[in-house]
């Protein structure tokens, strides 16, 4: 047997390098950015998009899917050269290639025949990494003179690894805990005085046009706080999210918004309150839309706050859609999920499950798996 070995060259470091480069480019564009733009928050949001959308598709050998122009929410263009993108990938690709070369050499010295190379993990799906591995083993023969076959992640669907590195352990339950550098929370619509923070903030309630209750709009319930140690696998307790619709409304579309910030925050303050603004302000990171129109007749009807016994049912009743919202951390990926019905006793009892995904790479210290 050849002793196992490893190297600090995972795909998360590619994202770390991308985020660092973004910060430098955004600083250079500061005169063109909107007043009060948070460089760190903007870089984190853009890096998340790149990590999930662009990075898995980039093939540095074919210049495929190499998007070199991105835009901030304010329309400022950030441009990357092909050489800069190659420089993001090269240290990780070289690290994997060197590790593989060393392992093959050790096997040869010990007289071991290597017939197959098994690649697992999210990074194993990268066409850029695939090209580099094929470069390493393409011209090699094992001790019996045959080529070395490669088995890629998609060839063994039983693998449950979502993101990771070459030859990474399939069982991550004993992986190291990580410290999140970001907070994550959901935008909320709360009834006035449901939380004491409403009084502390001196907020003036507004009457909701649907349920007629005095309400506080756009508060944030922070579910994960910056500085929290997160296990490799982690799921938050469910929080309830209610959406109200007129009784005769046929198009029932619910939107859940995920906010993030590089610092800790107290919950139940509005997103424009000083608690959520300032040097490190909260920002919209991602959102999902859930169309539940086909289940309209299954949602309960309740009275409006101003309902009276003599009012017609059509004027008195509204429909309520209630979800469970959870955040699930799996390795370096954050998944947020809306589930209906709320309080389902088992996963099989969940009839609607809408998910959004965010990379946690920019939210951990470099090198964290």
Q: pLDDT per residue over 321-335, tens digit each?
A: 999 999 998 877 888
pLDDT of residue 306: 82
pLDDT of residue 2: 64
How far apart (Å, rounded) are the C-alpha atoms in residues 15 and 136?
24
How far apart (Å, rounded) are the C-alpha atoms in residues 281 and 283?
6
User: How many residues does this entry show for the chain?
Assistant: 369
pLDDT of residue 122: 64
**Token representation of residue 289:** 């839309």
pLDDT of residue 25: 92
pLDDT of residue 164: 35
pLDDT of residue 171: 35
Burial class (CB in 10 A: 0-12, 13-18, 19+), 111: exposed
Q: Which helix (H) or strand (E) element contains residue 20?
A: helix 11-28
How far apart (Å, rounded) are the C-alpha atoms in residues 151 and 159?
12
Mean pLDDT for the chain overall: 83
Neighbour tally for 368: CB within 10 Å: 22
Output DSSP code: residue 31. Answer: G
pLDDT of residue 368: 57
**Is the Cβ–Cβ distance between 120 and 166 less than 8 Å?**
yes
| Of the listed ranges 46-55, 91-100, 139-148, the one predicted with least confidence | 139-148
Q: Which residues of 8-31 are buried (b: 16+ CB within 10 A; e: fewer)?
A: ebbbbbbbbbbbebbeebbeebee
How far apart (Å, rounded) are the C-alpha atoms in residues 233 and 23?
29
How far apart (Å, rounded) are the C-alpha atoms in residues 291 and 245?
13
Give the global pTM: 0.59
Asked if residue 341 has pLDDT above 80, the reply is yes
**Is the Cβ–Cβ distance between 124 and 152 less than 8 Å?**
yes
Confidence of residue 170 (pLDDT cuts 50, 70, 90): very low
Over residues 278-288, the mean pLDDT reads 81
How far apart (Å, rounded) are the C-alpha atoms in residues 103 and 236?
40
How far apart (Å, rounded) are the C-alpha atoms in residues 48 and 16?
10
How far apart (Å, rounded) are the C-alpha atoms in residues 241 and 320?
10
């Amino acid at each position: 047997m050849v002793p196992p070995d490893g190297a600090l060259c995972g795909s998360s470091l590619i994202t770390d390098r991308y985020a660092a480069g973004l910060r430098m480019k955004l600083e250079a564009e500061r005169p063109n950015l909107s007043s009060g733009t948070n460089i760190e928050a903007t870089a984190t949001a853009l890096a998340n998009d790149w990590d999930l959308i662009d990075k898995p598709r980039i093939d540095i050998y074919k210049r495929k899917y190499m998007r070199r122009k991105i835009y901030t929410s304010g329309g400022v263009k950030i441009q990357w050269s092909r050489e800069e993108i190659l420089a993001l990938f090269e240290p990780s690709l070289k690290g994997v290639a060197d590790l593989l070369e060393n392992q093959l050499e050790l096997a040869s010295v010990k007289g071991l025949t290597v017939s197959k190379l098994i690649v697992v993990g999210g990074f194993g799906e990268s066409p850029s990494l695939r090209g580099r591995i094929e470069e390493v083993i393409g011209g090699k023969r094992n001790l019996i003179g045959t080529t070395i076959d490669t088995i890629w992640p998609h060839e063994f669907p039983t693998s449950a690894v979502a993101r990771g590195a070459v030859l990474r352990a399939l069982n991550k339950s004993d992986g190291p805990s990580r410290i999140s550098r970001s907070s994550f929370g959901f935008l909320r619509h709360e009834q006035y005085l449901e939380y004491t923070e409403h009084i502390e903030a001196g907020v003036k309630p507004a009457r909701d046009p649907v349920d007629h209750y005095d309400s506080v709009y756009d508060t944030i319930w922070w579910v994960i706080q910056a500085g929290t140690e997160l296990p490799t696998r982690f799921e938050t307790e469910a929080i309830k999210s209610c959406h109200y619709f007129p009784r005769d409304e046929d198009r029932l579309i619910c939107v859940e918004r995920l906010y993030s910030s590089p610092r800790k925050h107290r919950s139940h303050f509005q997103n424009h309150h000083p608690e959520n603004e300032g040097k490190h302000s909260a920002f919209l990171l991602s959102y999902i839309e859930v169309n539940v129109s086909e289940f309209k007749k299954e949602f309960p009807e309740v009275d409006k706050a101003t309902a009276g016994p003599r009012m017609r049912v059509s004027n008195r009743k509204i429909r309520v859609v209630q979800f469970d919202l959870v955040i699930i951390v799996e390795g370096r990926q954050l998944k947020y999920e809306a589930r209906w019905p709320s309080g389902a006793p088992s996963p099989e009892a969940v009839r609607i499950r809408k998910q959004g995904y965010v990379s946690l790479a920019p939210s951990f210290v470099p090198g964290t798996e």
